[in-house]
Each structure stands twice: as structure tokens, then as C-alpha cells.
Structure 1
Amino acid sequence: MTIGKSARLELIGESAVHLLAERGMRGLTHRAVDEAAGLPLGSTSYYARTRAALLKVALARMTTLEAGEFAEAAAASATGDEPPGLAALLPTDVDGVVDLLAAIVSDAIRDGRDQKIARYELALEATRRSELRKAYDEAGRVFREAAVAVVAALGARDPARQGRFLVAWCEGVMFDSIAGAGWSTPPSHGDIATGLRELLDGMLGSR
């Protein structure tokens, strides 16, 4: 059965992400993606003719996967009959925010290691490729905007600044636990929740 363009791009993107995690940037080639995806040779080159285009396909697929995981976690932590849409699913109380972010961070450490390693590879490559830098920054914008909306709902005095540092804290814990010096002793879900509560208490203590 022939698969459509969008489905094939998804397959190429997911295979590229897997290769980045397994082999690093040097192991990501058009031929390797064809083989990993089980596609005829030349298929990846047809949809992403250059290496820069292939990197963007990988980044786009990973962003879609992470956005879906974020929305699923938000939906799982939501209560009541909220209307559809991510904004409506975001918690507006400290307990809800702690539950949501602790679940996202701990799940990433436990089950999302390969995906995050691939993202770190792309982040480093973005420092060398201006076209990837723009795409990477745009991909991260949705998550930062969500964090700003969350802390604004909690009554933060400076949502843009505090939302940025909330994201940075979560990213730092994930990096330390997945690729940093803390990889052998990652924090528990409870430790992450405690850290988040301490961070939010510090941000919001003088509202």
C-alpha cells in the first residue's frame, strides 16, 4: 500500500530522530534514514534534498511529538469540563502546575531519553546553522508561551521572565538527568515535584 506524503515525512522524521539519538549527528545521512525507515534508497533525498532540509524534518517531527505529549499531560492533569484546546487545559493553581510539570519532566527522564538526546544534538547543530536556529527557536516558542501563560495565571509579577526561568529549570533537570553528570542518579518524581514547588514558591512568594 502506498503511503501519502505527510505519512512518509513523519516516518522520515521519526527515523531521523532515532538515528540522531543512536549515532549522533555524523550518523544522520539520507541513506541511513532510508534504511532505518525501510524505504527505497533515494526516498529521503526526494523529500529532503539537502542535509539542512533533513534536519528541519527531524526537528518538525520531534516538535509535534513533544507538543502531543505536553497536551496529553495537560489533559491528564485537568479537571472539570474544559473546552478543547491547550490553553484551556493548562492548570491555574500551584498544585496543578506542579503535577503537570513533574509528570512531563519525570516521564522525559524515564521514557523519553532518546528523543531528548536527539533534541540536544539538534540544539548544538543550530548554533552552527542559522536556518536551523530559526526553526529551533520557533519550535520552542510554543512551550515558552505556555509557561508564561501558566505563571501569569498564578499571579506572577513578571510572567515573561519567570516563565522563561520555569522552562529553563525543567530543561536543566532533564539535561542533567539524561546527558549530564547526574544521569546515574536521576531525581524521583517526588523530588522533581518538591523542586518545582520550591521554585514557584520563590517566584510567587511576594505576589
Structure 2
Amino acid sequence: MSTRPTPKHPASLATPRPSATSRPELIADAALALLAERGMRGLTHRAVDERAGLPQGSTSNHARTREALLEAAVRRLAELEARVLAPGALLASGDADGAAAGLAAALHRYLTGSPELLVCRYELALEATRRPALRAFYDDAGRRFREPLTALMAAAGSADPERHALSVVAWAEGMMFACAVGSYHRAVPSEEELRTGCAELLRGMLGRAPR
């Protein structure tokens, strides 16, 4: 296992965000930064205004309720995760070898470059269990990741792509939790170690060994 590098706040959580192109993006980025640093209790409209450097009341004008602010955070999180994980690019791999390599590369990018986004993901996922409307919104945002993965399993020769996609998601989610906030939070597997682990998983599911 490789040693985790000193955690850095990725550009996705910097405030103000240099690449934010609109006030809604700036507000959502500030909300994610607060979630990562202070948890759900630290996320308030006033705190977002202060973190984003906006006039008081700006966040309330954009997201009048807490539910709306949380939905904005979920939407932005999905956008930032898509940049890191690039789920659409996985479809180019086309076979088990490429699937293992592509998944390992995406997972390694996330674990080493954007650990704070993972903290936000867990904060929002837990809150969604208590808010049915947010649960539906959170699940809908997650489809952009599940659908390409199901297609990838089909392209790799899976006889049951949806079930196998669930197994891959469970493996990846477990790895991310262990390395971001769990017992392996001080170390992250190398990309090669992740590729080997993913290849072993795919071998068992697909009935042949990715090289």
C-alpha cells in the first residue's frame, strides 16, 4: 500500500473557485467546502455567503430553503465527481482488461486528488436517508455513474451487466470509504494495486482473467 500524500483541498473545494463561471456554482462550491470542513451542522446560508465572499442574503436568494441548498450541493458534487471519474470514458475500454485499468485509474485519481469530495459524498448520503426528497435527488444524480458502468460490464462480456455493475460499485465504494475515512485513511493503494484488485473481481464475475 502506498502512503497517502498530505491531503490538499482540490480546486473543487477552493473558495473563491477560479473556474466557477456563475454565482450558483460559487455558492455550491462554498457549500461543499463547508461540508468537508465542518460537516452538515456547519452548512448554513449565512456561512455559505461568508465562505463564498458574497453579500449577505445571496445564498438565500439562490436557494431559499435548506433542501434547495442541499440539492444544489448534490448537483455540483455530481458534476465535480464526473470530472474526476470520467464515467463516459470507461466505455472506450471495451473489454475486461481495459475495464480494470480504466476503473483503477479513475479510482486512484479520486482517492489521491479529491478526498474532500468523498467526505462531502458521505455527508450528503447520510442526510439523504433522513430527507425523502433529497434521497430521490441524490439517487437520480447517481445514475450518470451507474448507467455507463452497466454498459461497460455488457461490453466486457457480462451475462448480467446490472448485477455485475452493482458488485463493482460495492467494491469501489468500499475502497473509497476505507481509504477516505476508514481504517486505511492514512494510505491509498497504488494504481497498480487497484488494477489488480479490480481485475480479480472481474475475473470472478466474467469467468476469465484480465491480463
Q: Equivalent residue for 1:111?
A: 113
Aligned residues: 189
SS at match of 2:182: coil
Structure 2 counterparts to residues 88-99 of structure 1, below 5 A:
89-99=91-101
CA distance in 2, matches of 1:87, 1:174: 20
CA distance in 2, matches of 1:196, 1:102: 7
Matched, 1:122 2:119: no
Matched, 1:151 2:166: no
CA distance in 2, matches of 1:177, 1:87: 24
Q: Equivalent residue for 1:49?
A: 64
Matched, 1:34 2:49: yes
Contact 2:90 2:148 survives alignment (8 Å)? no
Aligned-partner residue type, residue 35 of structure 2: L
- What stretches of structure 2 of length at least 5 have no aligned partner? 1-20
User: Of 165, 168, 190, which residue of structure 1 is paired with 2:167?
Assistant: 165
CA distance in 2, matches of 1:181, 1:144: 26
> How far is the alpha carbon of 1:70 from its aligned partner?
2.8
CA distance in 2, matches of 1:14, 1:90: 30
1:88–1:95 distance in 2 versus 1, CA, 3 Å: closer
Aligned-partner residue type, residue 110 of structure 1: T
CA distance in 1, matches of 2:192, 2:128: 34
CA distance in 2, matches of 1:131, 1:123: 12
Aligned-partner residue type, residue 115 of structure 1: L
Q: CA RMSD in A?
A: 1.7
> How far is the alpha carbon of 1:185 from its aligned partner?
2.7
> How far is the alpha carbon of 1:89 from its aligned partner?
4.7
1:118–1:87 distance in 2 versus 1, CA, 3 Å: closer
TM-score (norm 2): 0.85
Q: Equivalent residue for 2:177?
A: 175
CA distance in 1, matches of 2:105, 2:37: 25
SS at match of 1:64: helix
TM-score (norm 1): 0.87
Q: Equivalent residue for 1:63?
A: 78
CA distance in 1, matches of 2:149, 2:111: 20
Q: Once the two structures are superposed, what CA deviation does each residue of 1:162-193 show, in whole Å capped at 9, x if it has no partner? A: 01111111111011100111112322211111
Q: Equivalent residue for 2:11?
A: none
Structure 2 counterparts to residues 76-87 of structure 1, below 5 A:
86=88
Q: Percent identity?
A: 52
> How far is the alpha carbon of 1:69 from its aligned partner?
2.5
Aligned-partner residue type, residue 9 of structure 1: P
Q: Once the two structures are superposed, what CA deviation does each residue of 1:3-48 show, in whole Å capped at 9, x if it has no partner? A: xxx7111111111011100000000000110011110000000000
- What stretches of structure 1 of length at least 5 have no aligned partner? 1-5, 75-85
Q: Equivalent residue for 1:186?
A: 188
